[in-house]
Amino acid sequence: MSAQAILRNCGIQPTPQRIAVVNFVLNTTSHPSADDVLECVRKECPTISRATVYNTLNLLVEKRLLRTQVLREGTIVFDPNIELHHHFIDEESGKIYDISWDAVQITCGTSLRDFEIREMQVVMKGRRRKGK
């Protein structure tokens, strides 16, 4: 689906700036920060301002097209994968990988009865093995 259609579908007026943000951020698995998005989108749309990028990202989060994740020091990252899933952080490169929900089995014991768990995820750190 085109970025335009996506935006229209959730009642956001498509503008060149918003389309550029959507095209980048909904088609990446790199878990970018807002400033990563700014940097990349400026290649397409050199005049876009920081405030517009922040506003658009926040709009997309509000409309559930994106989720924020607290995984990197000092900044929020954006993730277009809105299904339940886990994350793996490569400690060398800093890259964040999505791990499918089914890759891990979690069982909570009774000692958690005082906690009403509304969401959870496993955060793993280590090194991604080189593909052979």
Residue ranges that bind its own copies, judged by CB under 8 A: 68, 70-76, 88, 91, 97, 99-100, 102-109, 111-129, 131
**C-beta of 81: minimal distance to its own copies in Å?**
16
Length in residues, the chain: 132
Tokens of 83: 């299904």
Residue 12 interacts with, from its own copies, DNA, none (CB under 5-8 Å by kind): DNA
Residue 124 interacts with, from its own copies, DNA, none (CB under 5-8 Å by kind): its own copies
Q: If binding is defined by CB under 7 A, does position 12 make contact with DNA?
A: yes
Residue 17 interacts with, from its own copies, DNA, none (CB under 5-8 Å by kind): DNA
The neighbouring-strand residues paired with 89 are 96, 125
How far apart (Å, rounded) are the C-alpha atoms in residues 81 and 26?
8
Q: If binding is defined by CB under 7 A, does position 18 make contact with DNA?
A: yes
**C-beta of 103: minimal distance to DNA in Å?**
27
Of the candidates 8, 57, 60, 7, the residue with the CA atom closest to the CA atom of residue 32: 57
Spell out the residues 6+ positions from residue 82 whose beta carbon is closer than 8 angstroms to its own.
64, 65, 66, 67
Tokens of 111: 């000692």
How far apart (Å, rounded) are the C-alpha atoms in residues 94 and 45?
27
Q: If binding is defined by CB under 7 A, does position 105 make contact with DNA?
A: no
**C-beta of 87: minimal distance to DNA in Å?**
16
Interface with DNA (CB under 7 A), residue from 25, 34, 60, 66 = 34
